[in-house]
Amino acid sequence: MALGLFVIGFTASEVLQIQAKAKEMLLEGKTLMSWGESGSTATKQFAMPIREVLEECAHALPLLDPETFGRPPRRVGSTRVGFLPK
């Protein structure tokens, strides 16, 4: 479930760039980088899993640019408290 991390402080253009980079990494299978030098090794993992990045992008784009990406879906619900007659 998206948290709205890319809604505040990002433009739609920036979110599209993030989405494109996440898609590129997903297609190339690059989610973990590892390298070694002079007998020592280092491993770097990206800040967010690609799945979460793509979810956040999908959540942010309709909010940042509803003209292009459509309006975000509205959540409709109802609650009834108390006795319900049969």
Between residues 13 and 27, the one the model is more confident about: 13
Q: What is the pLDDT of residue 42?
A: 73
Angle made by CA atoms 9, 27, 30, in degrees to the nearest 5: 75
What is this structure's pTM?
0.65
To the nearest 10 degrees (0 to 180), the angle between helices 50-64 and 12-28 is: 150
Between residues 79 and 54, the one the model is more confident about: 54
Q: What is the pLDDT of residue 60?
A: 93
Q: What is the pLDDT of residues 15-49, one digit of tens each?
A: 999 999 888 888 887 666 666 777 777 766 667 88
Per-residue pLDDT averaged across 3-18, rounded?
92
